[in-house]
Structure 1
């Protein structure tokens, strides 16, 4: 694609960065009547936004650092998001085993009282004290847990759903397209973009949103030629996925003697997700990976709490993400705030730059709303904020259980486990590739574990997937289930399909 002249190819807003903040801002802005384009140098959600602990939560431990504003906003957002996307988000119970030498019971009770009270709860129940059973998964020395509710989210799919919604409203999405330069030219930014295929083209924008996450500072220095207004610290968080440690549905939040906490979360039916670590990080964020020390740390924490002991042989997969956090003097990596800052540079009638620093998945929608509120000062025709009650694509159904029943009634040949996966990954969007299918054979090649050709084609044609990793780790989690041979067959098919 090429843009030949400035007058015909101008957008109000160009968002640089296709993570959850960037796609959230693109959706909010286009829904307010602004013309929007978004570019992302890799896959949408391919970095930090798909490497989280996959939680919609207020951040119980942030209360210890007196971050009441952040916690209150995040707690309010939990239920907003649970209503917006019931297919990829749902309530989750957490149990915090009491270790009196780590945090006294009175401190935990006060924290949970604040957690219950800082925001209204329409879906999630209040916290409570639970006496553990000797037959339970925890070691016998633990007799008490404190239980509270938060939420689960498929982080990578959250990004994709925001991108789909933005595209449906008229935004242009350029995945695997890097912003290589941005220069002021009169009242506009002249921006050079380069696709993964090597094609270079120009787009003009009245405003640029720098939502490049870990690359936000380098974007300013390298691409836009703007002095860095904020100091950032890169913090790596790593997770491991292991065979399921226990059979019940609750998650655990485990305290450690160093003051940090580790989550253990039921994951994809057969597994447990364990994380996260907090380490200062230097280097290319795209090359972050778990260290032996991090692996040992996570295993030692969970083995100190659970009867079932986990070893490196039980690790199915690991991943690491780099969080760009606001710098605080003398703060450790785990003490750094997860709050965000949105700063507008420029004024109406001139090229403006909006920088996004920090943030967490739970508050992405509020961050986007604040960002577009600031942009609206430069665009008088911009409408009011609107995203709070708008469902994300695929979310127009009552409950996952009801949707599974509907799918199995309409597609009687559909195995229940596949119907359940469709419900929690796509919601009503699965109808786009199920269409009038009458049997497994009508869905095309079965690449394994119920991943059919029709689904793969949909992901390539309508969800911007281009590689094996896009499909088996971000659009789905089939990397946990497909054998090496099955993955090779699928990769060959994807390459052929993408080249067509």
Structure 2
């Protein structure tokens, strides 16, 4: 067992050996396919119920949908309007758990203004909805923990809105309602869930692609897979395989002839990142559009603005944002701003795919985000749909279904899920270290603002970063071209967080790829050299990684000049992943 949930090159090799039986381990009880938030959640739920658990991801943890969301942990106001009260209540309870118990170091409150344009009926309508929103969050399992952990909503006049958000156009509104939700760095949440699962004994291996299923009669008894790092074919046996592949669900389903059990429709959502000084406001905004909602979300020294909601039928690994998408978002945000934004204000652009359960001919913005669990053939559980906020509930339901399959073959009595009590790595000790921030700054020689930054990313594990800085003082230096991050964070990403390629660090362990105007190109050489020292890369390998990253950025920029999805996809897929 890995004591601190370390994901390193060595632990990856050990995990593969354990899952294939080369290390003398017994057959797995549960093998999870997919390293997004749902798959990581399933691995954590299964291993904490006492099941021998493994997880395979074909690329990097959170490399798909789970690193490209709006980064909100929320109930979903639009689902309240759709009368989906059960979904909203469930999501609000999960939001409260994450804020107050499971991941207080990663999940934090974020304020929003909901502008009102009609003087009487709209204030009553929206106000009553937010009253219900607050009430749903305050009652239930968290009532003994002080409720939702967030302030209640309040009504604002137009003058008050102007003081909070000087750059918001108030000439077309009558006031606003101020309320709170929560946000998270989605990729870090996934990584932390996976590391927590590993700390409890789960075997986690990235860069392993499932190529088929092992069968005994009708029953699935494991998978065939390819270790992309070492070029080896593997067989991994498991009593139950859980497919949590998100938008790849249909492809996995076809491997077992189970087509039709689930159909997942990919819906593309794009987001823009702009510097914080481009919009003067103490609060984010949420505004209804003709198709969906527009979020303007505070994100450190930046704003995240989105999103779109359109069907996507092209490359699933690298969805592309077109110029049409970008202008749609700019047009809608400029309608509410005094000083309009243009393309030159955009630091970063990212596109993600929502895995929506389909079967109807309705627009993707109307499809519910509720999840579904099915068992198309014995020994295989499939889960699809859902949202970032409710990952833990999805995982619980998937493991419950796996437990039914285990009972029929092994007579194993599955214990109930306990993940509502299992704090994620970094949660323990976070409050204490936050109180000690000045002392930590004094001892480490770092500015208090740097300590705050580390606490918000690593929580109680901040000591591990500070130990690196103490041992190697050069790691206390900020990265050239991305000075929000320290060199120590790159080294830690490799030694503890499973980073294998330059993309992994620039796009997911940090968010340099969307938080800098050059998309991380100037930071890439220095980051690659730091990684090389830990991974044993040659000079040629460093050059290859940097060149690939630059070509990836160029392809993304080209795609963002195209008017159609097809043209954008053709530009983006011209650069494939490194193996």
Structure 1, gaps ≥5 residues long: none
- Give the counterpart of 1:111 among 95, 117, 129: 129
Name the stretch that deviates more: 238-247 or 93-102. 93-102
Deviations 1:354-375 (A, max 9, x none): 1101010010011111221222
CA contact (8 A) 2:222 2:240 kept: no
* Aligned partners of 1:96 and 1:252 also within 8 Å: yes
- Which piece of structure 1 moves more, 469-478 or 50-59? 469-478
- Tell me if 1:461 matches 2:495: yes
Q: What SS does the aligned partner of 1:484 have?
A: coil
CA distance in 1, matches of 2:376, 2:245: 16
CA contact (8 A) 1:188 1:204 kept: no
Please state whether the residue corresponding to 1:138 is helix, strand or coil: coil
- With structure 1 as the length reference, what TM-score do the two structures score? 0.92
For residue 460 of structure 2, what is the aligned residue in structure 1? 428
1:214 aligns to what SS in structure 2? helix
Separation (CA, whole Å) in 1 of partners of 2:497 and 2:487 = 14
Show the counterpart of 2:37: 20
Shift of 1:8: 5.1
Q: Which moved more, 1:487-496 or 1:123-132?
A: 487-496
Contact 1:238 / 1:321 at 8 angstroms: preserved in 2? Answer: yes
1:327 & 1:123 partners in 2: Cα distance? 35
Aligned twin of 1:238: 270
Q: Per-residue deviation at 1:259?
A: 4.5
CA distance in 2, matches of 1:487, 1:463: 18
Counterpart for residue 561 of structure 2: none
Equivalent residue for 1:40? 57
CA contact (8 A) 1:403 1:423 kept: no
Question: Does residue 165 of structure 2 align to residue 138 of structure 1?
Answer: no
| Structure 2 equivalent of residue 368 of structure 1 | 395
Determine helix, strand or coil for the equivalent of 2:183.
strand
TM-score (norm 2): 0.80
Is 1:485 aligned with 2:522? yes
Please state if 1:414 is matched with 2:443. no
In structure 1, distance between residues paired with 2:264 and 2:234: 31
1:238-276 alpha-carbon deviations (Å, 9 max, x no partner): 0000122434432110122x15211001112x2110011
Cα distance in structure 1, aligned partners of 2:113 and 2:291: 17
Report if the CA contact (8 A) 1:211-1:356 is conserved.
Answer: yes
Cα distance in 2, alignment partners of residues 32 and 103 from structure 1: 50
| CA positional deviation for 1:399 | 7.3
User: Is this contact kept in 1: 2:468–2:475, CA < 8 A?
Assistant: no
What secondary structure sits across from 2:441 in the alignment? helix
Which has the larger share of helix? 2
Pairwise CA distance, 1:105: 2.9
Deviations 1:133-167 (A, max 9, x none): 34522113134011122111110001000110111
d(CA) in 2 for partners of 1:445, 1:160: 24
Alignment partners' CA distance in 2, 1:292 and 1:101: 36
Q: 1:251 aligns with which of 284, 291, 294?
A: 284
The answer to whether the 8 Å contact 2:220/2:380 transfers is: no
Match of 1:229 among 261, 285, 288: 261
> Contact conserved, 1:285 with 1:321, CA < 8 A, in 2?
no
Q: 1:93 is matched with which residue: 104, 111, 114?
A: 111
Aligned-partner Cα distance in 2 for 1:356–1:166: 19
- 1:4: how far off? 6.0
Structural mapping, 1:1-400, within 5 Å: 3=20, 9-83=26-100, 84-100=102-118, 104-120=122-138, 121-133=147-159, 134-135=162-163, 136-141=166-171, 142-185=173-216, 189-197=221-229, 198-221=231-254, 223-244=255-276, 245-256=278-289, 258-268=290-300, 270-345=301-376, 351-377=378-404, 378-379=406-407, 380-396=412-428, 397-398=430-431
Secondary structure at 2:526's aligned position in 1? helix
- What runs of 5+ residues in structure 2 fail to find an aligned partner? 1-15, 139-146, 538-579
Per-residue Cα deviation, 1:81-138 (whole angstroms, up to 9, x for no partner): 1121111111112111112399933321232222122332341222221113345221
Change (3 A) 1:399 1:441: closer
Q: Is 2:94–2:390's contact at 8 Å kept on the other side of the alignment?
A: yes
Q: Provide the alpha-carbon RMSD of the alignment.
A: 2.4
Distance 2:64 2:207 in 1: 12
Distance verdict in 2 for CA 1:276–1:299, change over 3 Å: same
Q: Report Cα offsets for 1:336-383 as digits up to 9, x if no partner.
A: 11111112345xxxx511110101001001111122122223252432
Q: Which moved more, 1:449-458 or 1:276-285?
A: 449-458
